Amino acid sequence: MANEGTSPGAVARGLLRATDRAALATSLAGREPVGAEAWPYASLVLLACDHDAAPLLLMSDLAEHSKNIAADPRAALLIDGTAGRTDPLTGPRVTVLGTVEKTEEPRLKARFVARHPSAALYADFADFHLYRVTVTRAHFVAGFGRIHWIEAADLAFDAGAAGLVESEDSLIQQLDEKADRLAQLATGRRAEGWRVTGIDPEGLDLRREGAVARVEFPAPVGAADAAVATIEALLQAEKARRKK
């Protein structure tokens, strides 16, 4: 997650990027068997993010939440960063409010499937579609008494990094052999079998079976060569620390 000394928007965005699932709240308004009243409906969804941190969802037309969104695209996503806390209420979580719309952009589907390899089994089924969330506001709770409403512009990252977007696939292939070392940066533990799943201006994402990890860059990067240089500097710094 982003450094705690940064803005609430940046910290909340770091939580959003680092998490691979969320609770999705939609409305059952006017649909059977509930009837005409607007009842909230919560479900579990897999989560990925675009380079600007816009949430991405892959959902079936047959799912209740997809039917709800077809009638009312407004939704909320709860991203929970409290795992492992003795008292979960001291941990961070963010509720993202926005509108959910289908997208046919192949790059976004590829980014989602890279984040969630198991989704490759059904991502091209006729009833599955990728959705992008256009954020309106977010409500971020960093712990007791640390509560912030965040506007869309403060949660999103102004990507401005077309070169990095275009180079992402080749960068992933280039860095995959270093994935275990990169995961150690993020987790502090040695383990084999990690894969790099995505690179954005603020960091890179990794996965090992059901576990995910994220390496945050000390400063945003806008091009492939800058990303490579930043990653190499992080690895060299970690190597020097281990020698001490």
CATH topology of domain 162-243: Split barrel-like (3.20.180)
Q: Which two tokens stand for residue 232?
A: 């190499």
| pLDDT, tens digit only, all 244 positions of the chain | 444 458 999 999 999 999 999 999 999 876 666 666 778 999 999 999 999 999 999 999 999 999 999 999 999 999 999 988 999 999 999 999 999 999 999 999 999 999 999 999 999 999 999 999 999 999 999 988 889 999 999 999 876 656 789 899 999 999 989 999 999 999 988 899 999 999 999 999 999 999 999 999 999 998 999 999 999 999 999 888 877 6
Same fold, 8-155 and 162-243: no
Q: How far is CA 203 from CA 93, 164, 207, in A?
A: 20, 12, 14
Report the candidate in 217, 243, 241 with the shortest Cα–Cα distance to residue 231. Answer: 217
Burial class for 128, CB neighbours closer than 10 Å (0-12, 13-18, 19+): middle
Q: Give me the sheet containing 195-200, strands edge to edge.
A: 195-200, 203-208, 211-216
Q: Enumerate the β-bridge partners of residue 208.
A: 211
CATH class, 8-155 region: mainly beta
Residue 198 phi/psi, 5° resolution?
A: -170, 155
